[in-house]
Amino acid sequence: MLIWRRLLLIVTILLGAPHAVLSQESAPAPNAAQPSGPRDLRIVTRVLPPLVVEREGSVSGFSIELWNEIASRLGVRSQYQIAPDIGSLLASVRGAKADVGVGAISVTSVREAEFDFSQPIMSAGLQIMVRGQGKDSSSNPLSDLFSLLFSWTSLAWLSIAAMLILVPAHVVWLLERRHPEGIIPTQRYIPGIYYALYWAAGTLATQAENAPKNWLARIFAVLWMFTGLVFVALYTAQLAATLTVQQISGGINGPEDLAGKRVATTRGSTAATAVRGLQAQVVEVGSLREAYDALRQKDVDAVVFDSPVLLYYAANEGKGQVSMVGAPFRREDYGFLFARGNPLRSEVNVALLKLREDGTYARIYDRWFGTK
């Protein structure tokens, strides 16, 4: 009977799963309680270090170790398949080609409406990673200045400058136009206002050539010169700050700077949805490795993905070549994924909570995320 079930399972895996099948079994603990569910489970996963690490044909990592611990306590054996993207992982569970999804599977309202998730196994979030070690070596001061001059920031400053020219020009025109030796040689609005505008623009840049002769206009002019001074100081500070940020992170300082930028992430991920919502150009890849390569080869400006995964890469393999930008901007929880109504879920939840209570969870967490 058992042999037949095994044979059937092998046939379904071979026929049904388009993914790599890794046989790695977590042997049942000797004194484990007899399971009420199936003894052999097909687990579909994704390679996302340090949650899922693939080495020499076997998988490990935080999520895998956590799952293996649960599996061993439940007395079930796990056979791993690796999905090429999260969509295929979901499809495997949906089509009953896998019993459980294990990895960095974010709990979302859309997925929750179709599947069942375990209790959260970890909380994460999305974060941005850019090229360069703090300072973007590819940044060129001339192109930085050029892009700054034609940016929204410049437009905002230009609008303020326009207001700061139009208002005093009219005041000075009104006060000064009747003065015989004044800076406005005519009483007519046109061309009188042109003289006033020229004066106001010069004053704003603190380069005024001449001063009004009317006393009221003079007092006003002095006040306005101070305003011009403050404006120039603020503008200089903003210019310096923006250029520095641009040099450090290629102009990406947070999610709002991703609009129009080329951003790599994995196909069908929550990050892909978020990045699309930020009006960025999304470059969707299957494995995260391709995203890292695209960043290194300057095919993309940034990678947006799950914070624990990016942080791990930035601290290990990508050390000195990439840097993280800002804090995680969208919080998410990871869970194990089950088909709707799978009775295994409650058993897994009990085991997971016990792991948290007896310190096993913390031990596994420290092994993969702890600072050694």
* CB of 49 or CB of 75, closer to ligand GLU: 49
What is residue 107's three-state secondary structure? Answer: coil
Query: Is 46 an interacting residue with respect to ligand GLU (CB under 6 A)?
Result: yes
What is residue 236's three-state secondary structure? Answer: helix
Query: Is 121 an interacting residue with respect to ligand GLU (CB under 6 A)?
Result: no
Question: Which one of 43, 53, 100, 104 is in contact with ligand GLU (CB under 6 A)?
Answer: 104
* CB of 127 or CB of 360, closer to ligand GLU: 127
> CB-based contacts of 259: which residues, under 8 Å, 6+ apart?
278, 279, 280
Extended beta strands in 223-351, E state: 262-266, 281-285, 302-306, 322-334, 337-339
Question: Computed from CA positions of residues 216, 217, 222, 226, in that sequence, does the dihedral angle turn out positive or negative?
Answer: positive
Query: Is 294 an interacting residue with respect to ligand GLU (CB under 6 A)?
Result: no
CB of 2 to ligand GLU, least distance (A): 34
At residue 57's C-alpha, the angle toward residues 52 and 63, to 5°, is 20
Question: Which one of 220, 306, 339, 352 is in contact with ligand GLU (CB under 6 A)?
Answer: 306
Of 32-40, 93-101, 103-111, 141-149, the window that binds ligand GLU (rule: CB under 6 A) is 103-111
Using CA atoms, how far residue 110 sits from 94, 116, 127, 367, in Å, is: 13, 11, 21, 32
> CB-based contacts of 342: which residues, under 8 Å, 6+ apart?
99, 116
CB of 18 to ligand GLU, least distance (A): 16
Using CA atoms, how far residue 39 sits from 21, 96, 286, 287, 322, in Å, is: 18, 16, 31, 31, 44
* CB of 103 or CB of 228, closer to ligand GLU: 103
Question: Which one of 13, 59, 86, 196 is in contact with ligand GLU (CB under 6 A)?
Answer: 86
Of 16-24, 174-182, 265-273, 276-284, the window that binds ligand GLU (rule: CB under 6 A) is 265-273
* CB of 63 or CB of 246, closer to ligand GLU: 63
* CB of 89 or CB of 204, closer to ligand GLU: 89
* CB of 214 or CB of 266, closer to ligand GLU: 266
Decide: 338 and 345 in contact? Cβ < 8 Å: yes
Query: Is 176 an interacting residue with respect to ligand GLU (CB under 6 A)?
Result: no
The torsion region of residue 100 among left (phi > 0), alpha (psi -120 to 50) and beta comes to: beta
* CB of 65 or CB of 347, closer to ligand GLU: 65
Question: Which one of 105, 121, 208, 324 is in contact with ligand GLU (CB under 6 A)?
Answer: 105
Measured distance CA(50)–CA(63) in Å, rounded: 8
* CB of 90 or CB of 197, closer to ligand GLU: 90
Measured distance CA(294)–CA(256) in Å, rounded: 21
Of 30-38, 97-105, 193-201, 256-264, the window that binds ligand GLU (rule: CB under 6 A) is 97-105
* CB of 238 or CB of 287, closer to ligand GLU: 287
* CB of 105 or CB of 169, closer to ligand GLU: 105
Query: Is 106 an interacting residue with respect to ligand GLU (CB under 6 A)?
Result: yes
What is residue 87's three-state secondary structure? Answer: helix
What is residue 331's three-state secondary structure? Answer: strand
Query: Is 129 an interacting residue with respect to ligand GLU (CB under 6 A)?
Result: no
Query: Is 270 an interacting residue with respect to ligand GLU (CB under 6 A)?
Result: yes
Of 148-156, 170-178, 217-225, 262-270, the window that binds ligand GLU (rule: CB under 6 A) is 262-270
Indicate the residue type of 162: A
Question: Which one of 88, 118, 127, 266 is in contact with ligand GLU (CB under 6 A)?
Answer: 266
CB of 333 to ligand GLU, least distance (A): 10
For residue 121, give both structure tokens: 């196994």
CB of 267 to ligand GLU, least distance (A): 7
77 membership: H or E segment, kind and range: strand 77-82
Using CA atoms, how far residue 146 sits from 143, 154, 242, 246, in Å, is: 5, 11, 12, 12
User: Which residues form the interface with ligand GLU (CB under 6 A)?
Assistant: 46, 48, 85-86, 103-106, 266, 269-270, 306
